[in-house]
């Protein structure tokens, strides 16, 4: 990205979210870090999220949790389950408001058909990765993924520790 060094220097002492720096105009509202640890990502998808007015306000305030959430396809429609969007103002929330309610995803028919075919394969699942805004719309990025085995997770941790030890040794050497 040309001029990214200037942009980074221009922010000065301000603490800046790395996602906002990499994707300007698309601030990240929530990120599912656990998904990167538990799943091997095969393919990414973007979908619109159907929310009520106070859910949009709450999501833009960051009162959104994707941990434990997943995407399912029922019939010819995709849904987000177990995503927790807290009420914007709990005192003014509708009395029947459920923060864990099922939310519809907006996708093209071709995308849904391809997802149906791909999720029929054994061991593949749809996991939400992040929620962000794009042109004042709330979007969900979800991934087609395969669960990692415990040995894969341990191997990744060991590689990270070895890399950290090597970097530490190189820093002490110079």
In a domain, residue 17? The reply is no
In a domain, residue 15? The reply is no
In a domain, residue 169? The reply is yes
Whether residue 27 contacts residue 19, with contact meaning beta carbons closer than 8 Å, is answered with: yes
CATH of the domain at 113: 2.40.280.10
State residue 34's pLDDT score: 84
Mean pLDDT of all residues in 82-100? 84
State residue 140's pLDDT score: 92
Total domains in the fold of the chain: 1
State residue 162's pLDDT score: 92
In a domain, residue 8? The reply is no
State residue 9's pLDDT score: 41
CA–CA separation, 123 vs 34, rounded Å? 18
CA–CA separation, 109 vs 123, rounded Å? 23
Helix (H) or strand (E) holding 44: strand 39-49
The model's pLDDT over 101-156, given as tens digits with 9 standing for 90+, comes to 899 999 999 999 998 888 888 888 899 999 998 888 899 999 998 888 777 778 88
In a domain, residue 21? The reply is no
In a 3-state reduction of DSSP, which class is residue 33? helix
CA–CA separation, 163 vs 118, rounded Å? 35
Kindly report the average pLDDT of the chain as a whole number: 81
pLDDT at residue 79 is higher than 90: yes
CA–CA separation, 17 vs 138, rounded Å? 18
Mean pLDDT of all residues in 69-84? 91
State residue 163's pLDDT score: 92
The model's pLDDT over 48-63, given as tens digits with 9 standing for 90+, comes to 999 888 888 888 888 8
In a domain, residue 20? The reply is no
Confidence of residue 26 (pLDDT cuts 50, 70, 90): low
In a domain, residue 31? The reply is yes
Question: DSSP for 68-133?
Answer: T-EEEEETTEEEEES-EE--SSGGGS-TT--TT--EEEE--HHHHHHHHHHHTSTTEEEEEEEEEE
CA atoms within 13 A on the CB side of 174: 5
Partners of 41 in the beta sheet? 145
CA–CA separation, 97 vs 78, rounded Å? 21
pTM listed for this prediction: 0.70
Domain around 110 = 27-173
Closest-CA residue to 50 (of 72, 79, 76, 28):
79
In a domain, residue 7? The reply is no
């Amino acid at each position: 990205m040309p001029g990214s060094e200037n942009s980074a220097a221009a922010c000065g002492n301000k603490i800046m979210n790395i996602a906002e720096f990499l994707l300007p105009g698309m601030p990240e509202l929530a990120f599912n870090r656990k998904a990167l640890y538990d799943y091997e990502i095969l393919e990414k998808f973007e979908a619109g999220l159907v929310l009520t007015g106070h859910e949009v306000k709450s999501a833009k305030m960051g009162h959104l949790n994707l941990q434990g959430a997943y995407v399912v396809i029922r019939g010819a429609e995709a849904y987000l389950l177990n995503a927790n969007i807290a009420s914007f103002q709990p005192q003014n929330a509708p009395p029947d408001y459920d923060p864990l309610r099922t939310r519809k995803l907006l996708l093209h028919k071709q995308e849904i058909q391809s997802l149906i075919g791909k999720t029929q394969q054994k061991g593949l699942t749809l996991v939400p990765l992040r929620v962000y805004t794009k042109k004042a719309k709330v979007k969900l990025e979800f991934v087609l993924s395969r669960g990692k085995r415990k040995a894969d997770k341990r191997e990744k941790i060991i590689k990270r520790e070895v890399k950290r030890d090597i970097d530490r040794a190189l820093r002490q050497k110079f």
